[in-house]
Amino acid sequence: MTRMIVQRPLQHNIFENQRLMNMAMSYSSQNEKTPATLDSYSVVIADDDRTMADLLAINLRRLGHRVAAIAANGREAIDMAFKTKPDVVIMDIHMPVLDGFQAAQEILATQQVAIVLSTGMSDVKSLRHAVDLNVISYLVKPFSPAQLKVAIHLAVAQSRASSDPTAANAAA
């Protein structure tokens, strides 16, 4: 049984959240006594809001991940996922050409990859649709770098476990 992780949004406006994200990133990097022991992943970002995509890319790099590509719509996300074979695709739901649900469905039909949906919506219908697609993680905007970090690592671990039955059985 696949579990989906839903991160609750921060209760701040977007400008305050950006300030808090920057503070949290500088605090965590200054106060880590040892290098992060978690893996670094290749990530495709798909968001039609370029400011949000750029902010996400900055935070991903600060967390030690590599941004393989940034897509502005669902069709580009599918193309970039096919070309770059990332570990993770972080995708907004509401995008032009194809929405995040449609793009996730097409990506998952052709490759094993962790998908994290990023959206301002937390309604039951959207959550059910994500579960039906086997999307593992769902972040509600705005989210903190800590929430992003957790969502990515859990999504990748769950994706890898579901693709390797021996790992899934060992974890149970």
Sign of the Cα pseudo-torsion (85, 89, 91, 93, in order): positive
60-108 per-position pLDDT tens digit: 999 999 999 999 999 999 999 999 999 999 999 999 999 999 999 999 9
Helix or strand (DSSP H, E) at 60: helix 50-62
Q: How many CB atoms lie within 10 A of CB 147?
A: 19
Helix axes of 124-132 and 100-110: crossing angle, nearest 10 degrees: 10
Q: CB burial class (10 A; 0-12, 13-18, 19+) of residue 159?
A: buried
Per the DSSP assignment, residues forming a β-bridge with 118 are 92, 139
Name, in order, each residue with C-beta under 8 angstroms of 67's C-beta and a sequence gap of 6 or more: 43, 44, 45, 57, 60, 61
Q: Which of the two residues, 5 and 33, has the higher pLDDT score?
A: 5
Helix/strand/coil percentages in the chain, nearest 5: 50, 15, 30
In terms of pTM, does the model score above 0.85? Answer: no
Q: Is the pLDDT of residue 27 over 50?
A: no
User: What domains does the chain contain, in order, with CATH numbers?
Assistant: 16-22+39-164 (3.40.50.2300)
Q: Which of the two residues, 98 and 22, has the higher pLDDT score?
A: 98
Place of tokens 């149970």: 172
Spatial distance between the Cα atoms of 3 and 111, rounded to a whole number of angstroms: 19
